[in-house]
């Protein structure tokens, strides 16, 4: 009775919230009518039986879909031979178990629905019963709960007709106890991820939406509470895609956030026939452009924020969902190209779109993304693994997963990443998430300014509260460039700091920094590289990597000289073995100072740009 009263009280609270004015981008949903359009049959999540039959007809004439199904069946066969999942945390997280369960359930259930072979369903049920018997799904780290709720909700829905009544009740009981009830407690407190603007919002709301809708006809009170609360919460994060589809946590976390955006909205559409206007939020329709344009010719992403080291563009099935939802074949075409190299997963089948017969819209060489983190990218060509590519970032140092790296740049050419970001460190390091001024996070090399390809003033990190914006973006073929006002990050020593990054004649990159120094200090210019470095002269460095060459030349000031430093660190931090820093130091700088560096790949035949005209950033 106590639980019933508590749930009833929460329904009242949420009903009031849903009827409130939809200020700050919130969307209101009446909890008393939210299930009026519920499809009461199973399966109702993502891929219904009629959708499956349509895929089977497509399969008969589509070699690409046949290959994708083959990949999925191979995955299911591998999962069928694995031992049962156990409740084993790594640090504070059970997340690896939740994700393994999710991968197993998608592959095994889709294999069963496609082939009818009972061995796949039997193994999926064994996995579901195992995790539903866990003591909990680790609510102290709620991503773990959300992803497990997704897995169990999907398995319950997709295997509904296979399950006997007793097994259904066991799985449902585990989902309610370990997933939906803990979720309701967070919604009731209206704190944490419910109010966040980063990936936790989409993941937690999306996972709980799936779990609640899976059992909505038999236990409607969970969906009646969770769906309105989630729809009210989601715009707080979804607004971060505005206006161009970028994601503040970087291209790596773009995928985590966006796939759960897709899961949540697709579950609403398939089960209720509506997403309450969430897909209309500004920027979401453009989101597929972000991973496409921030992937260099090497296949590596612009590695800002806590991306994995040397993070590469991986298969992203939500690109198919984006293509379907926003009628954009360009997104699907890009995803097919990635899957051709790296293989398909079950969700590629669920949201499958046949390859376009004709080339999708042409892609511009340069792109500027605005938002909490701003990114500009320039390239010499598409579909050329040796093309020249440079990406540079601006934005806000306090963005979730952010580093102290405003103005950081990365560079690809000749199939090599010459200038790179080291990526994240171990999330379990003490104080890793303490990002306030003086916080422990900024003592870690990979996260502070000293590892990034940015200026340092007096050897100090950027201001953790620093903000920056692009003040110019120009996509001229002969001299495409961007200018960033970095002043906020360096106010202790400088009245003004501006960085310019240009791609000259689509053959070389110029990085030019201009300072108005108020308090005399040492200026350090640096870039991080895996290359071996030698010197033709002290102001001309020759970088070699994988049998290719790039020449770095000091254009200004004329007396400056390069040096080489190590980026290696001691455990428990990641050691960065073999990584170097090409540096230039100006001791006791004051007044107006300009540093300009020309980075020239040595193209086939030995040609490279050895010099270029020098002019102030105001004249770029």
Running along the chain, 620 residues long, what does each successive block of 10 average in pLDDT?
A: 38 36 64 95 98 97 97 98 96 96 98 98 98 98 98 98 98 98 97 95 98 98 98 96 92 94 98 97 96 96 89 94 96 96 97 82 87 94 96 94 96 98 95 93 97 98 96 95 98 98 97 98 98 95 97 95 97 97 96 98 90 93
Q: Strand 548-556 to strand 580-601: parallel, antiparallel, or no bridges (unpaired)?
A: antiparallel
Pick the CATH number of 2-350 from 3.40.50.10860, 3.40.50.300, 1.50.10.100, 2.130.10.10: 1.50.10.100
Q: How far is 618 from 609, CA to CA, in rounded Å?
A: 23
Q: How far is 172 from 129, CA to CA, in rounded Å?
A: 10
Q: At CA 519, angle to CA 515 and CA 520, rounded to 5?
A: 80
pLDDT recorded at residue 13:
36
Q: Which residue has the tokens 């009446």?
A: 30
The two tokens of residue 251 are 């291209």
Q: How far is 618 from 374, CA to CA, in rounded Å?
A: 21
The total number of residues shown for the chain amounts to 620
Residues 6+ apart with CB under 8 A from 36: none
Neighbours of 237 (CB within 10 A): 25
Q: At CA 147, angle to CA 236 and CA 66, rounded to 5?
A: 110
- Locate the DSSP E strands across 381-474: 389-396, 409-413, 416-419, 456-457, 467-474
Q: What are phi and psi of 506, to 5 degrees?
A: 60, 25
CA distances from 234 to 22, 190, 279, 285 (A): 13, 13, 11, 16
Q: 463, exposed or middle or buried, with CB in 10 Å at 0-12, 13-18, 19+?
A: middle
| Residue in 582, 598, 568 with CA at minimum distance from that of residue 532 | 582
Q: How far is 174 from 219, CA to CA, in rounded Å?
A: 13
Residues 6+ apart with CB under 8 A from 260: 146, 199, 202, 203, 205, 206, 207
| Residue in 579, 565, 568, 577 with CA at minimum distance from that of residue 531 | 579
Number of H helices and E strands in the chain, helices first, is 16, 15
pLDDT recorded at residue 396:
93
Fold of 367-608: Beta-galactosidase; Chain A, domain 5 (2.70.98)
Q: Strand 467-474 to strand 456-457: parallel, antiparallel, or no bridges (unpaired)?
A: unpaired
Neighbours of 333 (CB within 10 A): 19
Q: Give ranges for CATH 2.70.98.70 in the chain.
A: 367-608
- Locate the DSSP E strands across 326-398: 367-369, 373-379, 389-396
DSSP 307: P
Q: Specify whether the CB–CB gap between 228 and 285 falls below 8 A.
A: no
């Amino acid at each position: 009775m106590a639980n019933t009263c508590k749930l009833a009280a929460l329904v009242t609270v949420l009903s009031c919230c849903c009827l409130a004015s939809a200020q700050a981008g919130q969307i209101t949903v009446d909890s008393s009518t939210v299930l009026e359009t519920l499809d009461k049959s199973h399966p109702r999540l993502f891929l219904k039986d009629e959708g499956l039959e349509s895929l089977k007809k497509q399969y008969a004439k589509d070699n690409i879909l046949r290959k994708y199904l083959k990949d999925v069946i191979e995955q299911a066969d591998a999962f069928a031979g694995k031992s049962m999942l156990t409740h084993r945390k790594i640090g504070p997280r059970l997340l690896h178990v939740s994700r393994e369960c999710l991968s197993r359930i998608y592959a095994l259930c889709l294999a069963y629905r496609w082939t009818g072979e009972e061995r796949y369903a039997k193994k999926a049920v064994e996995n579901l019963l195992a995790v539903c018997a866990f003591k909990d799904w680790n609510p102290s780290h709620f991503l773990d709960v959300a992803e497990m709720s997704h897995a169990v909700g999907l398995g319950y829905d997709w295997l509904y007709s296979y399950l006997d009544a007793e097994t259904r009740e066991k799985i449902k009981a585990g989902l309610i106890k370990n997933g939906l009830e803990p979720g309701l407690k967070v919604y009731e407190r209206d704190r944490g991820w419910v109010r966040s603007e980063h990936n936790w919002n989409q993941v937690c709301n999306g996972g709980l939406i799936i779990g609640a809708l899976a059992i909505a006809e038999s236990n409607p009170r969970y969906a009646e509470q969770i769906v309105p609360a989630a729809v009210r919460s989601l715009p707080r994060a979804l607004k971060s895609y505005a206006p161009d589809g970028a994601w503040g946590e970087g291209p790596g976390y773009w995928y985590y956030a966006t796939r759960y955006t897709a899961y949540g909205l697709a579950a609403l559409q398939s089960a209720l026939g509506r997403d309450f206007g969430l897909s209309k939020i500004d920027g979401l329709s453009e989101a597929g452009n972000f991973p496409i344009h921030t992937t260099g010719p090497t296949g590596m992403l612009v590695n800002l924020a806590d991306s994995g080291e040397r993070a590469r563009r991986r298969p992203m099935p939500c690109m198919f969902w984006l293509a379907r939802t926003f009628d954009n074949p360009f997104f699907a075409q890009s995803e097919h190209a990635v899957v051709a190299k790296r293989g398909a997963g079950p969700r590629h089948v669920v949201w499958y779109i046949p390859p376009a017969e004709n080339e999708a819209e042409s892609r511009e060489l340069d792109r500027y993304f605005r938002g909490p983190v701003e990114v500009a990218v320039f390239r010499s060509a598409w579909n050329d693994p040796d093309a020249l590519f440079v990406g540079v970032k601006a934005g806000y140092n306090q963005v979730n997963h952010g580093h102290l790296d405003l103005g950081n740049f990365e560079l690809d050419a000749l199939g090599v990443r010459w200038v790179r970001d080291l990526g994240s460190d171990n999330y379990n390091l003490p104080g890793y998430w303490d990002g306030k001024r003086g916080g422990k996070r900024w003592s870690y090399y990979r996260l502070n300014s000293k590892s990034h390809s940015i200026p340092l003033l007096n050897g100090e990190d950027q201001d953790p509260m620093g903000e920056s914006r692009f003040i110019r973006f120009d996509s001229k073929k002969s001299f495409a460039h961007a200018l960033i006002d970095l002043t906020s990050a360096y106010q202790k020593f400088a009245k003004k700091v501006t960085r310019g990054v240009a791609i000259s004649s689509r053959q070389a990159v110029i990085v030019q920094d201009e300072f108005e120094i108020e308090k005399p200090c040492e200026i350090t210019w640096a870039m991080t590289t895996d290359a071996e470095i030698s010197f033709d002269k002290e102001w001309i460095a020759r970088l070699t990597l994988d049998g290719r060459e790039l020449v770095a030349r000091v254009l200004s000031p004329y007396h400056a000289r390069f040096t080489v430093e190590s980026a290696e660190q001691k455990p428990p931090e990641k050691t960065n073995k073999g990584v170097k820093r090409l540096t230039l130091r100006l001791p006791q700088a004051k007044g107006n100072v300009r540093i300009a560096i020309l980075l020239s790949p040595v193209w086939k035949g030995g040609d490279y740009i050895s010099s270029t005209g020098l002019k102030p950033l105001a004249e770029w």
